Chain A
Amino acid sequence: MARSKHPAWEQILGAVESPARAPSEIQEHIRTCDDCAVVAEEARRILESLSAEQLPHPPRPLVEQTLAALSQRLRDREASASARLQEELRALAARLREGWQAAAAALIADSWRASPALRGSAGTGSRMLIYETDDFSIALSLTNDPDSTGRSLIGQVVPRQGTSLPPAGWVLVRQAPEVVGERLTDLGEFQLAGLAPEIIDLDLVLGDKHVSLHLPSGS
């Protein structure tokens, strides 16, 4: 076989697995061609590794003990994250109470106003609202939770031309006795569920800016 015409992978694999049955010209080529010798060695090692002895199984009690330790750490981590979130929310709420001046936001679109007929489905449908400040567009979708009296709020803050989204944005809903809220995602999205039905005030903290939204009545 000419040096320029290398055997196919399948032929080399066959020669590695069953040398006795491999055509002599293939064997000879592998023997004299460095490149094909490398491929043959790779095939041999892959087959060898696939057939290697089994990894040992650790004793079952050790596995269960390790899982219990992991589970405890996960619970600790979750509790700690939740406590940190509440602490940050309380600090932001305190700052808002101190009179942090809000940037003006204008309601520029309301799906119920655009299509009054939709209001008839208010019991289950969503109400879409769009606000704008000088720097941001804020899209909101309010939905009644199907299996409770609470409501869900899904929203996204999008920077307007020439601005960017601050890295650590927050959305807060003040509902007595607590403040609920969450961080915005990198894309400025948020989703809050189980909100009290009467909620109409929403605070968005966007870097050093604060936007306060008073949702229209009947939302």
Chain B
Amino acid sequence: MSNHPGRCIDRAQLVHGLVAGDETAWREFVEQYGRLAYAAASRLGMTAEQSEDLFQDTCLLALESIQTLRDPGRLASWTYSIAYRRAIDALRRQRPGVALEEVDADADAPPALVHAPEIAAELERLEETASLMDAMAQLDSRCRRLLEALYLETPRMGYNQLAQREGMPIGSIGPNRARCLGKLRSLLRGLSNPLLRPSTGGKQDKGRG
């Protein structure tokens, strides 16, 4: 089972199916990308009932608004953003005085939590996971398969097994892994990714990788 939903699925094809109302594509979305909503509910400390509502609301809202997804490459981040907004709305309705505050009015970015640092940290990690899913989906298939096998599949694959499966010399796996991680980093940078945002601080990259 993968940590990062959506693996092995051609993203453009998936989004095309979602827009066209294809039920197989929607099953994929619910089973894989819906997990971001369920995880957000859990990290916000929602009850089981609230979590189920958030999961379902997020999926239904995604159906209503999939036409507005401008970049298929950001499906996971977009889904997370929907889930996050719905969750905050739900918590506000439940506790009008809750110490949550929107500080970012940008429609493309989830609002930030400023009064609950431990929750904010958990959610930031989830947002990073969504971004990583988006970047992984944009990797070429060879790199994606390699990184999934090494990091995301359970149980993780060893170099020997992987070399056999991919028909590559065992000695080339390490360099290929580094090269693929470099590509992943470039993609994350291209996505203005939250995973890399805090540490870059406006500094210029020297173009490694």
Q: Which residues of A contact B (CB under 8 A)?
A: 6, 8-10, 12-14, 34-35, 38-39, 41-43, 45-47, 49-59, 62-63, 65-67, 69-71, 73-74, 77-78
Contact partner of A38 (CB less than 8 A), chosen from B5, B55, B200, is: B200
Contact partner of B56 (CB less than 8 A), chosen from A53, A69, A77, is: A69
- A50-B34 in contact given A35-B206, A73-B60 (Cβ < 8 Å): no
9 residue pairs of the A-B complex, CB under 8 angstroms, read A13-B181, A38-B200, A42-B188, A70-B30, A71-B26, A73-B60, A74-B23, A74-B63, A78-B21
Decide if B132 touches A73 in the complex (CB within 8 Å): no
Decide if A70 touches B60 in the complex (CB within 8 Å): yes
Decide if B205 touches A52 in the complex (CB within 8 Å): no
Q: CA separation between A135 and B203, bound complex, in Å?
A: 57
Q: Which residues of A contact B178 (CB under 8 A)?
A: 9-10, 13-14
Among A58, A65, A78, the one with the most B-chain Cβ atoms within 10 Å of its Cβ is A58
Q: Which residues of A contact B188 (CB under 8 A)?
A: 42, 46
Q: CA separation between A95 and B51, bound complex, in Å?
A: 53
Q: CA separation between A77 and B39, bound complex, in Å?
A: 29
Q: Which residue of A lies closest to B151 (CB)?
A: A50
Contact partner of A50 (CB less than 8 A), chosen from B59, B132, B203, is: B132
Decide if B56 touches A66 in the complex (CB within 8 Å): yes
Q: CA separation between A56 and B52, bound complex, in Å?
A: 13
Contact partner of A6 (CB less than 8 A), chosen from B52, B200, B208, is: B208
B88 to chain A, nearest CB (A): 20
Among A50, A67, A71, A77, the one with the most B-chain Cβ atoms within 10 Å of its Cβ is A50
A10 to chain B, nearest CB (A): 4
Interface: B47 (CB within 8 A): no
Decide if A66 touches B34 in the complex (CB within 8 Å): yes
Q: Which residue of A lies closest to B201 (CB)?
A: A38
B36 to chain A, nearest CB (A): 7
Q: CA separation between A206 and B158, bound complex, in Å?
A: 63
Q: Which residues of B contact A8 (CB under 8 A)?
A: 208
Among B5, B27, B152, the one with the most A-chain Cβ atoms within 10 Å of its Cβ is B27
Q: CA separation between A34 and B201, bound complex, in Å?
A: 11
Q: CA separation between A207 and B152, bound complex, in Å?
A: 54
Decide if B26 touches A67 in the complex (CB within 8 Å): yes
Beyond A14-B178, A38-B205, A58-B35, 17 additional pairs, beta carbon < 8 A? A6-B208, A34-B203, A35-B206, A38-B199, A39-B206, A42-B185, A42-B200, A45-B128, A49-B129, A50-B151, A52-B129, A56-B38, A58-B34, A58-B51, A63-B34, A67-B30, A69-B60
B14 to chain A, nearest CB (A): 15
Give residues 82-132 of B contacting A (CB, 8 Å). Answer: 125, 128-129, 132
Q: CA separation between A52 and B38, bound complex, in Å?
A: 16
Interface: B164 (CB within 8 A): no
Decide if A66 touches B30 in the complex (CB within 8 Å): yes
Contact partner of B208 (CB less than 8 A), chosen from A14, A39, A45, A67, is: A39
Q: Which residues of A contact B23 (CB under 8 A)?
A: 70-71, 74
Decide if A70 touches B195 in the complex (CB within 8 Å): no
Q: Which residues of B contact A63 (CB under 8 A)?
A: 30-31, 34
B75 to chain A, nearest CB (A): 15
Contact partner of B26 (CB less than 8 A), chosen from A51, A62, A74, is: A74
Interface: B50 (CB within 8 A): no
Q: CA separation between A41 and B203, bound complex, in Å?
A: 13
Q: Which residues of B contact A12 (CB under 8 A)?
A: 208
Contact partner of B21 (CB less than 8 A), chosen from A55, A59, A77, is: A77
Interface: B147 (CB within 8 A): yes
Q: CA separation between A58 and B204, bound complex, in Å?
A: 41
Q: Which residue of A lies closest to B147 (CB)?
A: A50
Decide if B185 touches A43 in the complex (CB within 8 Å): yes
Q: Which residues of A contact B209 (CB under 8 A)?
A: 9
B27 to chain A, nearest CB (A): 6
